[in-house]
Chain A
Amino acid sequence: MLELRGVTKRLGATLAVDGVSFTVRPGSITGLIGPNGAGKTTLFNTVAGHYAPTRGSIRFAGDEIAGCAPYAIFRKGIVRTFQIPRPFPEMTVLENLMLVAANQPGERFWNTWIRPGRVAEHEKANRARAMEALEFLNLTHLAGQQARSLSGGQLKLLELGRAFMADPKLVLLDEPAAGVNPTLMNAIAERIRALNARGMTIFLIEHNMPLVMSLCDPILVMANGRLLLEGDAARVRGDARVIEAYLGGDAAAAGAPHG
């Protein structure tokens, strides 16, 4: 589904991502872990089109997408969320979601004039879908509120709502559960499984080990811009290199990664 070959991204003097190759299998929930500064978010930004890779190839569903603009990558069927939620604060929660729906002819200004009926029809369908998303997220009561009034946790859910609305082939989740309480974390994990069950392939970055271990298979581990290993939870948990990457060489003997 998503296939990276020798992807390298240089940011200034550092090789943030250094010759990374892997494949995300269709239908999987693939996890990406690694210590801070390992290059995970840079890798995501490169796949999502915010950066063009310095070298290497990124193929999605057979097409080369390296260097495409973010909006073009979205249209190929990849949607990303942000580590720090980026809602449109002045717009209502419902609008935030309706905006995501692709193929609304009314987004071309002339259709407001020459095809008002079709635009209204799409708006109605998109609204119904957005209400469905709000129900999925348990946020129905906030539909008419401006997104700026939402709490941090609600904004995390709204990011997932974007994936629900876009109905993409692949979802890139950048730390979907960072900074949320345990109850909400379980709710988010449940939603991620549900999106996966709807046929979306999930590729996520996360620091919370129990969450990653229970949710993801396979798990990719990055350190210093390189891919360290790929495997299921048991394999990653038991690998000495992972422990070393997280705790540094000498401390490796002291214990496993937190969690």
Chain B
Amino acid sequence: MIDVAAYLVFFLCLALIYGLVCLGLNLQWGFAGLFNVGVVGFFIVGAYTVAILASPAAADRVGGFGLPIPLALLAAMAAAGLVAFVVGIPTLRLREDYLAIATFGIAVTIQLVALNWETLTGGTHGRVSIPRPLASVFVDRVNANLFFLAVTLAVVGTADWALERMVRSPWGRVLRAIREDETAAGALGKNAFAYRLQAFVIGSALMGLGGGLYASFIGYVGADDALPTLTFQIWVMLIVGGSGNNKGALIGAVSVWGLWSFSGWFMAAVLPSAFAVRAGALQVILIGLVLATVLLLRPKGLVGEEAVVSRGARVE
């Protein structure tokens, strides 16, 4: 029983971290219509930033400054936001498919850099010994996970609250207007490019924050964490939960990650060991099936899009 509870805590930490990344994607896609297929790139930039800044010094590795985790997390947001800014400037003026190509390309490039720039990223060995917040206080494994869950809940709760406030502000109203009809919004004085860039940078910063939390939670980040599978998973979470709805993004993250984890355990338990290597592929197929089923039965996701009305324009 204790084991199950302990696992549940571990599971929720990861699910909520992915939920945070999903919130970032929801701002970009759900509210601004930006097709980012390089989610993992921004996630991993955040993860390595925390790894480099917060871990203790090690031979042959750049960084290892031992900075406190909150500072490192802020830097992770800034680094991912900066990458988004640089990618966004040339691409967000163009048609949306260019953003898809550019983000996918940048994510693959970052993965290759992660694999090969060993002094910075540790290459295939990755970067290790990334500390958790207050690691010296919460030494016991169960307590450490519980504390980390509290931290993650606080971060995700704050992000959700802030995003809800922003999409219901006049800024969010302009964002929705641009998503619905860019030409009409432009004729009414709204600079679509500037708003897209802001949504793209803020959303990517949240992805970077998610990556930073992940690195701190697992204590390790390697080039394997930079594979496009994560982008696929986050997209499925958003679509299954319901894009355009922050609660949907979080529910999607928890349910899809639950299914992913359970299916992994199930296949390991049921399949003969000869098939174990292929279990990973089966998992992807399973998630694809779930996605197709949800799209058929509930095309707007489990929760569906919420009709957002800005605070100042509510009508009783």
Contacts and interface: CB of A to CB of B under 8 A. Distances in A.
Nearest to A81: B187
Most central of B181, B187, B202, B311 by chain A CB within 10 Å: B187
Nearest to A147: B180
A144 interface: yes
Contact of A102 (B189, B310, B315): B189
Interface string A84-108: 0011111110110011101010111
B168 to A, nearest CB: 9
Interface stretch (B55-63, B170-178, B288-296): B170-178
Contacts of B311: 123
Contact of A95 (B186, B187, B191, B313): B313
A99 B171 contact: no
Interface stretch (A1-9, A72-80, A229-237): A72-80
A107 B170 contact: yes
B312 interface: yes
Contacts of B192: 71
A71 B186 contact: yes
B34 to A, nearest CB: 15
Q: Which of B181, B188, B192 has the most CB of A within 10 A?
A: B188
Given A86-B181, A91-B176, A119-B170, A74 B188 contact: yes
Contact of B189 (A75, A109, A123): A75
Given A88-B181, A90-B176, A91-B180, A109 B188 contact: no
B198 interface: yes
B230 to A, nearest CB: 27
B308 to A, nearest CB: 9
Contact of A109 (B166, B181, B186, B310): B166
A71 B189 contact: yes
A48 interface: yes
Contact of B188 (A69, A119, A123, A166): A166
B186 A70 contact: yes
B91 interface: no
Contact of A79 (B187, B190, B191, B315): B187
A99 B180 contact: no
A109 B190 contact: no
Interface residues of A, number: 42
Contact of A104 (B170, B187, B309, B316): B170
B177 A98 contact: no
Nearest to A168: B189
Interface in B258-316: 307, 309-313, 315-316
A98 B173 contact: yes
Contact of A92 (B165, B186, B187, B315): B315
Query: Is the interface on chain B under 10, 10 to 19, 20 to 34, or 35 or more residues?
Result: 20 to 34
Nearest to A144: B315
A107 B187 contact: no
B315 A86 contact: no
- Which of B192, B198, B309 is the most central at the interface, judged by chain A CB atoms within 10 Å of its CB? B309
B8 interface: no
Given A74-B187, A82-B184, A88-B177, A123 B170 contact: yes
A50 interface: yes
B309 A95 contact: yes
Contacts of B310: 95, 98, 123
A98 B313 contact: yes
A198 interface: no
B129 interface: no
A143 B315 contact: yes
Given A102-B189, A106-B169, A50 B183 contact: yes
Given A75-B189, A86-B184, A95-B313, A112 B177 contact: no
B181 A90 contact: no
B313 A92 contact: yes
A89 B180 contact: yes
Contacts of A91: 173, 176-177, 180, 309
Contact of B173 (A99, A127, A162): A99
Nearest to B174: A107
Interface in A129-174: 130, 143-144, 146, 162, 166
Contacts of A193: none
A70 B170 CA distance: 20
A92 B309 contact: yes
A42 interface: no
Interface of B: 165-166, 169-171, 173-174, 176-177, 180-181, 183-192, 198, 202, 307, 309-313, 315-316
Q: Which are the 6 A-B pairs with shortest beta-carbon distances?
A: A123-B312, A144-B315, A106-B170, A74-B189, A86-B184, A70-B186
20 contacts: A69-B186, A74-B186, A87-B184, A88-B185, A90-B176, A90-B180, A95-B310, A98-B173, A98-B313, A99-B173, A99-B177, A99-B185, A102-B189, A108-B171, A109-B202, A112-B170, A123-B310, A127-B312, A143-B315, A146-B307
Interface of A: 48, 50, 69-71, 74-75, 79-80, 82, 86-92, 94-95, 98-100, 102, 104, 106-109, 112, 119-120, 122-124, 126-127, 130, 143-144, 146, 162, 166
